[in-house]
Amino acid sequence: MHLRSGEALMEACDRKILLVDHTKFQRRGLYQLAPVTAFDLVIVDAGISASQLDTLQAGGAEVLVADPE
């Protein structure tokens, strides 16, 4: 099976961590490396809404909300 470079990187990792600001959940991008559920940990800023946080957690993602301090 031929993997694209992003997929190959994901496969090679022992732990996958996504660092993202809350505004990225309100847009559609041209490219997606992987679904959020493919990451072991999602770190997001405190601007994330309660509903977005619930959606992430319901999808099985471990979510850490970064403290702005």
| Domain positions in the chain | 5-65
Give me the pLDDT at residue 36, please: 83
pLDDT of residue 28: 79
Q: What is the pTM assigned to this prediction? A: 0.77
Q: What is the tens place of the pLDDT at every residue in 22-56?
A: 988 777 777 777 888 888 899 999 999 999 899 88
- How far apart, in Å, are the Cα atoms of 28 and each of 2, 12, 22, 57? 26, 26, 13, 20
Strand ranges across the sheet with 17-20: 17-20, 41-44, 62-65
Question: What's the confidence (pLDDT) of residue 3?
Answer: 55
> 30 or 62: whose pLDDT is higher?
62
